[in-house]
Amino acid sequence: MRPIFYILIFQFFTFNFALCTKSDTLSLNGSWEFKQTDEFRWRKAVVPGVVHLDLMRNHMIEDPYWADNEIKQKWIEDKRWEYKRIFTLSEDQLNRKHAIIEFDGLDTYAQVFINDSLVITANNMYRKWSSWIWEKLKVGENEIRVVFLPIKEGATDYAKRKYDLPAGCETVNEKRSPWVRKAAYHFGWDWGPRFVTCGIWRDVRLVLTPIGVDNINFQTQFISDSVAKIKFSANVHPSSSDLKFTFSCEGEEYVLDYHRSVGYGHLDFQIDNPKLWWCNGYGDPNLYEAEIRLENQNGGVVFKKRVIFGIRTIELINEPDSIGTSFYFKLNGKPVFVKGANYIPQDLFLPSVTNENYQKLLTQVDEANMNMIRVWGGGIYEKDLFYDLCDEKGVMVWQDLMFAGSMYPGDESFIDNIEVEISENVARISAHPCLALWCGNNEMEVAWKNWGWQKQFGWSAKDSTEIWENYLRLFHEKAPEIIKNWDSTLNYTTTSPLSNWGKPENFNHSSMHYWGVWHGKEPIENFRTNVGRFMVEYGFQSYPEMSTINRFCDPKDQKLTSKVMQNRQKSYIGNEEITRQITKYAGKTKSFEEFVKLSQDIQAKALQIAIQSHLGAQPHCMGTLFWQLNDCWPGPSWSVIDYYGNEKKAYGIIKELFLIKN
């Protein structure tokens, strides 16, 4: 097993080159070709991308989101797909005798070939993948080729399993997702379809110069009205005694204490009269700008980078109190009532989410007066732009590790893979002032204790013990160790929720996912009395507006009984529960259009009752994160903003309620 130190150093080495100057890096994004491996014809492809998008661009499939095409296109996940492109190198470029191929994301089981030599074998969507390839290159044309294996071939551990494991919302017979480090929602969830994608889903580049700096981190050690003490750290690669490592901020320039043997530099500095980073509603999200530089012995700058940071402290207070067990956040020493939502990826086909989509959605978050969003554990570790926007808008981030609704293997190779994944993403995301919490997983512990998995899967006592020990090892030992080793000031909780909604006394303890309303079929009015210490999940479904529905099905299918609409509803009680509540409050509907409108009315009513109750229960309750903010495709769900960015009625209600000052 790789020690954690090695994992972090490996991550430093692979990530920094994205920061080199343009002349030192050859982007391999853009035009590629692709085909099914057992075919001969190559077709045009775009990178970053996934195979479904390329098939659609080549008119080989219809829009996957139209009607019931989800069902018709399941065959795509069972095929091998191959991508290639040619890139040209000059003699001068090869004379540098340094070349590394870097992928920011490969989805998921992939083999990378340079001029027919295998250089990378990938098995984790969430990791970066890189390889030294200088010896494989030649002057002139070079070929890069990437072969993607289907999950059923790549997830070889599945065939070796001793027992089955819970698998989120997979409805197929062969449930492989627990053995795969891939976004869980791609396998289906109760608000989204099953599209098991593959492709080069993030940037790819060829790095021709080794010098770079990354894993930049700022730790706020101490703050007062007059001074802030901050620790800055970063890594240089390759380490060299010939380089001078400098840092400048607020008119001051510093030379870092640079440990050349490992390429590690750190600096303790202070800022007088600091402007603190505050979340939305509590002050301005002030940010500082600094510059880091590497200089050679002649004083020449060989590398520089502008960095942004915020000064703040965030503490999770989760401890026994006079009520039961608290769960709240202190920002810069001040208790904050959290107002926000749960966020899921904005599409099944992730490269299709544009920077403008991020800008629009985070603006809607800001305008709704939210001060936190939770990045749910069945999706992805988001791109840097997402966290940059949260920094700018004063939106704290509750960040799940990417584990949800399942249990996971505990063999050494799987754990080694996850250690690299967590190390890379913690190092990348944690420098953002918006980062408030790392959470180990979504609903795994509460499910283990309350959902009857032991009986459902027929595990022996020995199997149950092994599965639970694997869980404890990953979320109670490995994950917190990696996180705290990276930054001792980071907050971590093993799972969400920490308390189950099944018993009244549980509402006095820690974090809560309250699904008595909806899954428990309780009256909406029960939101008034069932209020926990920190409400991480709760909600009520609705349909998107008719303009959205018209974009995914014909008028003839716009009825609850149609095959198309039944497939679109992914909740096992969805249409039944919406209809029941509409009938209770408004009587029977006369048309599908009326049903759609009233579904949004009922959702707005439910969220209004819930949020008013949470706000009114302070300090017993110190946070409310409704499920859910957005959609990954057009259809009925718990979202308040639909797939096309249209705001449902509940969005306006939430905006008004969250405007109320604490």
**Token pair for 448:** 């283990």
Q: How many other β-carbons are positioned within 10 Å of the β-carbon of residue 461?
A: 8
Is the pLDDT assigned to residue 232 strictly greater than 70? yes
Assign domain 21-207 to its CATH architecture: Sandwich (2.60)
Is the pLDDT assigned to residue 202 strictly greater than 90? yes
- Greater pLDDT, 173 or 91: 91
Assign domain 212-309 to its CATH architecture: Sandwich (2.60)
pLDDT for position 299 = 79
Residue range 622-649: average pLDDT?
A: 98
Q: How many other β-carbons are positioned within 10 Å of the β-carbon of residue 533?
A: 27
Under a CB-based contact definition with an 8 Å cutoff, are residues 424 and 127 in contact?
A: yes
pLDDT-derived band of residue 319, with 50, 70 and 90 as boundaries? very high
pLDDT for position 507 = 97
pLDDT for position 580 = 96
What tens digit of pLDDT does each residue of 506-538 get? 999 999 999 999 999 999 999 999 999 999 999
Residue range 595-622: average pLDDT?
A: 98
Ranges of CATH 2.60.120.260 domains, the chain: 21-207
Q: SS3 for 333-353, per residue?
A: CEEECEEEEEECCCCCCHHHC
Under a CB-based contact definition with an 8 Å cutoff, are residues 522 and 516 in contact?
A: yes
**Strands (E) located in 319-400:** 328-331, 334-336, 338-343, 372-375, 396-400
Is the pLDDT assigned to residue 240 strictly greater than 80? no
pLDDT for position 4 = 35
Is the pLDDT assigned to residue 259 strictly greater than 80? no
Is the pLDDT assigned to residue 9 strictly greater than 60? no
Q: Are strands 244-249 and 252-255 parallel, antiparallel or unpaired?
A: antiparallel
- Give percent of the chain above pLDDT 90: 83
Side by side, the strands of the sheet bearing 244-249 are 252-255, 244-249, 288-295, 301-309
What Å distances lie between residue 210 and 16, 18, 163, 207, 425, CA to CA?
Answer: 9, 11, 46, 7, 22
Residue range 589-602: average pLDDT?
A: 97
**Strands (E) located in 521-585:** 534-537
pLDDT-derived band of residue 7, with 50, 70 and 90 as boundaries? very low
**From 443, 537, 545, 577, active-site residue:** 443
- Give percent of the chain above pLDDT 70: 95
pLDDT for position 157 = 83
CA angle (229 as vertex; 226, 231 as ends), nearest 5: 160
Residue 317: CB partners within 8 Å, gap ≥ 6? 326, 327, 328, 329, 330, 335
pLDDT-derived band of residue 15, with 50, 70 and 90 as boundaries? very low
Is the pLDDT assigned to residue 20 strictly greater than 70? no
**Token pair for 285:** 């999200």
Q: How many other β-carbons are positioned within 10 Å of the β-carbon of residue 97?
A: 9
pLDDT for position 396 = 98
Instruction: Read off the DSSP letter of residue 464.
Output: H
Question: Is 570 in a helix, a strand, or coil?
Answer: coil
pLDDT-derived band of residue 261, with 50, 70 and 90 as boundaries? low
Question: Is 168 in a helix, a strand, or coil?
Answer: coil
Phi, psi of 658 (to 5 degrees): -75, -15
pLDDT for position 241 = 64
What tens digit of pLDDT does each residue of 449-489 get? 999 898 889 999 999 999 999 999 999 999 999 999 999 99
Residue range 553-569: average pLDDT?
A: 97
pLDDT for position 8 = 34
Under a CB-based contact definition with an 8 Å cutoff, are residues 620 and 323 in contact?
A: yes
What tens digit of pLDDT does each residue of 377-400 get? 999 999 999 999 999 999 999 999
Burial tier of 413 (Cβ tally within 10 Å: 0-12, 13-18, 19+): exposed
pLDDT-derived band of residue 24, with 50, 70 and 90 as boundaries? confident
What Å distances lie between residue 326 and 449, 479, 489, CA to CA?
Answer: 21, 23, 19
Q: How far apart are CA 442 and CA 48, in angstroms?
A: 28
Of the CA atoms within 13 Å of residue 422, those in its CB half-sphere come to 30
Residue range 253-260: average pLDDT?
A: 82
**Strands (E) located in 183-321:** 187-189, 192-194, 204-207, 212-223, 227-237, 244-249, 252-255, 257-259, 264-272, 288-295, 301-309, 314-317
pLDDT for position 662 = 64
Of 300-309, 483-492, 539-548, 635-644, the range with the lowest mean pLDDT is: 300-309
pLDDT for position 239 = 64
Instruction: Read off the DSSP letter of residue 556.
Output: G
**pTM of the predicted model as reported, rounded to 2 decimal places:** 0.94
Is the pLDDT assigned to residue 243 strictly greater than 90? no
**Stretch (H or E) spanning 362:** helix 355-367
Of 253-262, 346-355, 490-499, the range with the lowest mean pLDDT is: 253-262
Phi, psi of 564 (to 5 degrees): -65, -45
Under a CB-based contact definition with an 8 Å cutoff, are residues 236 and 293 in contact?
A: no
Fold adopted by 337-370+497-659: TIM Barrel (3.20.20)
Residue range 429-442: average pLDDT?
A: 97
pLDDT-derived band of residue 10, with 50, 70 and 90 as boundaries? very low
Of 52-66, 247-261, 547-561, 633-647, the range with the lowest mean pLDDT is: 247-261
Residue range 578-607: average pLDDT?
A: 96
Ranges of CATH 2.60.40.10 domains, the chain: 212-309
Ranges of CATH 3.20.20.80 domains, the chain: 337-370+497-659
Is 466 an annotated catalytic residue? Answer: no
Closest to 497 (Cα-Cα) out of 529, 451, 431: 451
**Token pair for 286:** 């002030």
